[in-house]
A and B are shown apart, each in its own frame.
Chain A
Amino acid sequence: MHTVLTRGNATVAYTLSVLACLTFCCFVSTVFLDYRVASNINTGKVLVKNVPDYGASREKHDLGYITFDLETNLTSLFNWNVKQLFIFLTAEYKTEDNVLNQVVLWDKIIRRGSNAVLDFKNLNTKYYFWDDGNGLKNNPNVTLYLSWNIIPNAGLLPTVKSFSSHTFKFPSEYASALI
């Protein structure tokens, strides 16, 4: 502490230590919060096609085509340790080959301060609903889940599943590939 430089060094170092401590307090204040809320998902059009999957094996695979409604209010999730939410819709189902298939169909980023009350009607999926075989046709039990990643200022990056889900079945006939 005997020169200007050592005093400056001590002040900067102590400020950074305090900043780390405050950030940790912010993390502790939010780490035990329950980030689950309810949502309302519904399907509109549900079709299944059998088309060649050029992205993979070129064999004919099942391609689902659905539209969906989504209604939820995520405003309560935001606090001082949430910068943005990454919300995504997944379809989970069981086939003969795999006990659990998970396909991400749609996602969206909600920044802090922007509108977090979602009410979408007849949305198309953002990503292809490919099965890795022929497991979609006549599948009686496909479930849509809404989940979100919480991007914090400091701390964990939790993935939270919404309370609600929606289960639907695919038709037993392939739709014409032109639709």
Chain B
Amino acid sequence: MLNLNIQTHMDFVGQHKAEMYSRFIITLFGVVGLIWGAITQQFSQTVYTLGAGFILASLLTIPPWPMYRRNPLNWQKPKPEPSSGGSNGDENKQKKKK
């Protein structure tokens, strides 16, 4: 079976950027649409303009584009295997829970 390894996460800086961009795009299209609708006296024009802003914001900020993944977290190196005494203690705790 085909195993596609698609990464869908954004890093923390990327999430912040994505939220700011989508808020900005939708607000901008809403304000412009309100002005355009007032000029043409057609409220439907306002709604359509906002809809265009929604589509644009969805395309730009919902998929995890590479621009939102430039600040990966620096994880610590995995520690070496703990000693046998410590692992026994963990097993005892799990047995008590069960």
Determine how close the nearest CB of chain A comes to the CB of B67; give it in whole angstroms: 14
Determine how close the nearest CB of chain A comes to the CB of B91; give it in whole angstroms: 33
CA distance in complex: A37, B30 (Å): 33
Q: Could you list which residues of chain A lie within 8 angstroms of chain B, going by C-beta atoms?
A: 1-4, 7-8, 10-12, 14-15, 18-19, 21-23, 25-26, 29, 78-81, 153
Which residues on the A side are within 8 Å of B53 (C-beta)? 15
Q: Are B19 and A10 in contact, CB atoms less than 8 angstroms apart?
A: yes
CA distance in complex: A78, B43 (Å): 12
Q: Are B26 and A26 in contact, CB atoms less than 8 angstroms apart?
A: no
Q: A1-B19, A4-B64, A11-B26 are in contact. List 12 more A-B contacts (CB 8 A).
A: A1-B15, A3-B9, A4-B63, A8-B58, A8-B62, A15-B53, A15-B54, A18-B26, A19-B30, A22-B50, A23-B43, A79-B41
Determine how close the nearest CB of chain B comes to the CB of A123; give it in whole angstroms: 31
CA distance in complex: A1, B19 (Å): 7
Q: Are A11 and B43 in contact, CB atoms less than 8 angstroms apart?
A: no
Interface residues of B in 46-62 (CB under 8 A from A): 46-47, 50, 53-54, 57-58, 61-62
Q: Are B19 and A19 in contact, CB atoms less than 8 angstroms apart?
A: no
Say yes or no: A4-B62 contact (C-beta < 8 A), given A19-B47, A19-B50, A26-B43: yes
Question: Could you show 26 A-B contacts with beta carbons less than 8 Å apart?
Answer: A2-B15, A3-B8, A3-B9, A4-B8, A7-B19, A7-B22, A8-B62, A11-B54, A11-B61, A11-B62, A14-B22, A14-B23, A15-B50, A15-B53, A15-B54, A19-B47, A21-B30, A22-B30, A23-B43, A26-B37, A79-B41, A80-B38, A80-B40, A80-B41, A80-B43, A81-B43
Q: Are B46 and A22 in contact, CB atoms less than 8 angstroms apart?
A: yes
Which residues on the A side are within 8 Å of B23 (C-beta)? 14
Interface residues of B in 1-23 (CB under 8 A from A): 8-10, 15-16, 18-19, 22-23
CA distance in complex: A18, B15 (Å): 21
Say yes or no: A11-B33 contact (C-beta < 8 A), given A80-B38, A80-B41: no
CA distance in complex: A25, B31 (Å): 10
CA distance in complex: A7, B40 (Å): 33
Which residues on the B side are within 8 Å of A80 (C-beta)? 37-38, 40-43
Determine how close the nearest CB of chain A comes to the CB of B4; give it in whole angstroms: 15
Q: Are A15 and B26 in contact, CB atoms less than 8 angstroms apart?
A: yes
CA distance in complex: A14, B63 (Å): 17
Q: Are A7 and B43 in contact, CB atoms less than 8 angstroms apart?
A: no
Which residues on the A side are within 8 Å of B62 (C-beta)? 4, 7-8, 11
